[in-house]
Amino acid sequence: GQQLNQSPQSMFIQEGEDVSMNCTSSSIFNTWLWYKQDPGEGPVLLIALYKAGELTSNGRLTAQFGITRKDSFLNISASIPSDVGIYFCAPRANFGNEKLTFGTGTRLTIIP
Amino acid sequence: DAGVIQSPRHEVTEMGQEVTLRCKPISGHDYLFWYRQTMMRGLELLIYFNNNVPIDDSGMPEDRFSAKMPNASFSTLKIQPSEPRDSAVYFCASSVGKTGTGTEAFFGQGTRLTVV
């Protein structure tokens, strides 16, 4: 079966620092999504990527769909306290098949 | 606009009891998903429906788990009998099935199930 690796598992940073996380897979995907989950809440969609090589920004967030279609990264610039949470990549294999596979998550903690 | 609504938010039950989790998807969404989240296994897709029809239930762990969607605005996930290892947060999500247009899955707040 497909393997989906998300790294790092956790990050401890100071406010104002930039953050980078990524997901890699042994399989090819047609869509890469990035979600954020706050404590006690469900995941919320941050960015959606639909084309290989696509680079998309949403405020301080930037994500790219790898050219091989097997990976994606998410960057957060100038982190702020509300960025704390767990970030998940969620790729999808086929258009028309809505099934998402979620990465293991990256837990972001901001040190005062 | 109301999001995905799940009930109850918290459920504590004794082993062997039947548990029913409920979900109201966003109006107009034609896909509904049930996920389970645990520390050990992360977010796992249990089952999803399209237009009220189950499409893929390969993630349902055992016959003790069943899910129904009697109409477009309501779905249930039932565990009978429940076991302590079923303790987890169960999420319902819904989406419109047109990819590439930003209509990806919206999640509810989840039901935290504890089986003692």
Instruction: List the pLDDT tens digit at each of the 112 positions of chain A.
Output: 567 899 999 999 999 999 999 999 999 998 899 999 999 999 999 999 989 999 999 999 999 999 999 999 999 999 999 999 999 999 987 655 677 789 999 999 998 8
- Taking CB atoms and an 8 Å limit, are A98 and B102 in contact across chains? no
pLDDT in tens, B36-46: 999 988 999 99
Q: Confidence band (pLDDT; 50, 70, 90) for B105?
A: confident
Please name which of B84, B88, B2 lies closest in space to residue B43, comparing C-alpha atoms: B88
Place of tokens 């477009």: B72
| A50, A94, A98, A100: best to mutate for the B interface, most B CBs within 10 A | A98
Would you state the pLDDT for residue A101? 84
User: Pairing state of beta strands B31-38 and B88-95?
Assistant: antiparallel
Q: What mean pLDDT is predicted for residues B8-21?
A: 97
- Hey, which residues does A20 pair with through a beta bridge? A75
Q: What mean pLDDT is predicted for residues B84-104?
A: 82
Would you state the pLDDT for residue A100? 79
Among the partner residues B33, B56, B99, nearest to A95 by beta-carbon distance = B99
Would you state the pLDDT for residue B100? 52
Place of tokens 């996920």: B35
Does residue B80 register a pLDDT over 80? Answer: yes
**Which chain A residues contact residue B93 at CB under 8 A?**
42
Q: Looking at CA atoms only, how far is residue A104 from chain B in angstroms?
A: 6
Please name which of B23, B33, B22, B47 lies closest in space to residue B94, comparing C-alpha atoms: B33
**Which chain A residues contact residue B50 at CB under 8 A?**
98
Please name which of A69, A35, A78 lies closest in space to residue A50, comparing C-alpha atoms: A69
- Taking CB atoms and an 8 Å limit, are A98 and B45 in contact across chains? no
pLDDT in tens, B15-69: 999 999 999 999 999 999 999 999 988 999 999 999 999 999 999 988 999 999 9
Among the partner residues B97, B100, B109, nearest to A42 by beta-carbon distance = B109
Cis (ω within 30 of 0) for the bond into B8? Answer: yes
pLDDT in tens, B94-103: 988 765 555 6
Among the partner residues A31, A42, A100, nearest to B110 by beta-carbon distance = A42
Is residue A49 exposed (0-12), middle (13-18) or buried (19+ Cβ within 10 Å)?
A: buried
Count the residues in chain A.
112
**Which chain B residues contact residue A88 at CB under 8 A?**
43
- Taking CB atoms and an 8 Å limit, are A44 and B42 in contact across chains? no
* Mean pLDDT of all residues belonging to chain B: 92
